[in-house]
């Protein structure tokens, strides 16, 4: 397998509070889109540490993972000036809670703002989702799909 075709590992935070879900609105090559707070797992970090970091960078809130919602594989094909980009993503979605937003904290580059949306609002905005996994992860969470954090083992040699 060509290394450029290998799935990229991402982590996502699924946060529900009072019937609303925390999403980020971000600039992408496809325009302004919505996503769960999410991003790429970095070398030397566990998936749990990665989702804590990504949620903080994208929302300005401390995320406390409580468990795993699921592991998802998706594939994206997009037209680019040089042809077509074909990328696969392996997403580990965690559910948990967030603290209050730190107004002094600057959000990650490209993040316009955070938004709290009801399930109906998330469903109605699907054409603006960065990934088909945005809604799928939320629906799995609402179905009660939960796994313990220790389902994902990180060997001590990673850090």
Domains of the chain are 10-72+91-147 (3.90.79.10)
CA-based torsion, 42, 128, 65, 152: positive or negative: negative
User: What pTM does this model have?
Assistant: 0.92
| C-alpha distances out from residue 145 to 1, 26, 69, 101, 104, Å | 32, 27, 6, 27, 35
Residues 6+ apart with CB under 8 A from 129: 33, 34, 35, 135
pLDDT at residue 127, as a whole number = 97
What's the token pair of residue 153?
Answer: 């083992």
pLDDT band for position 136 (cuts 50, 70, 90): very high
- Least Cα distance to 120 among 98, 141, 145, 138 occurs for 138
For 26, list phi and psi in degrees, rounded to 5: -140, 150
Residue 75 falls in which region: left (phi positive, over 0), alpha (psi -120 to 50) or beta: beta
Q: What pLDDT digit, counting tens, does each position of 1-52 carry?
A: 455 678 999 999 999 999 999 999 999 988 999 999 999 999 999 999 999 9
Q: What pLDDT digit, counting tens, does each position of 94-130 carry?
A: 999 999 999 999 999 999 999 999 999 999 999 999 9
What is the rounded distance in angstroms from the CA atom of residue 121 to the CA atom of residue 75?
A: 24
């Amino acid at each position: 397998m060509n290394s450029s075709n290998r799935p990229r590992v991402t982590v996502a935070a699924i946060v529900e509070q009072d019937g609303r879900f925390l999403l980020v609105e971000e600039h992408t090559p496809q325009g302004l889109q919505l996503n769960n707070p999410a991003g790429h797992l970095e070398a030397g970090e566990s998936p749990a540490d990665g989702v804590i970091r990504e949620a903080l960078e994208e929302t300005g809130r401390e995320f406390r993972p409580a468990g795993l919602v699921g592991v998802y594989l998706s594939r994206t094909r997009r037209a680019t000036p040089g042809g077509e980009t074909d990328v696969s993503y392996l997403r580990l979605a965690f559910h948990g809670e967030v603290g209050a937003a730190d107004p002094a904290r600057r959000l990650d580059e490209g993040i316009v703002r955070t938004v709290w949306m009801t399930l109906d609002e998330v469903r109605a905005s699907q054409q603006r989702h960065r990934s088909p996994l945005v809604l799928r992860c939320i629906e799995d969470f609402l179905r009660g799909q939960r796994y313990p954090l220790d389902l994902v083992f990180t060997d001590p040699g990673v850090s």
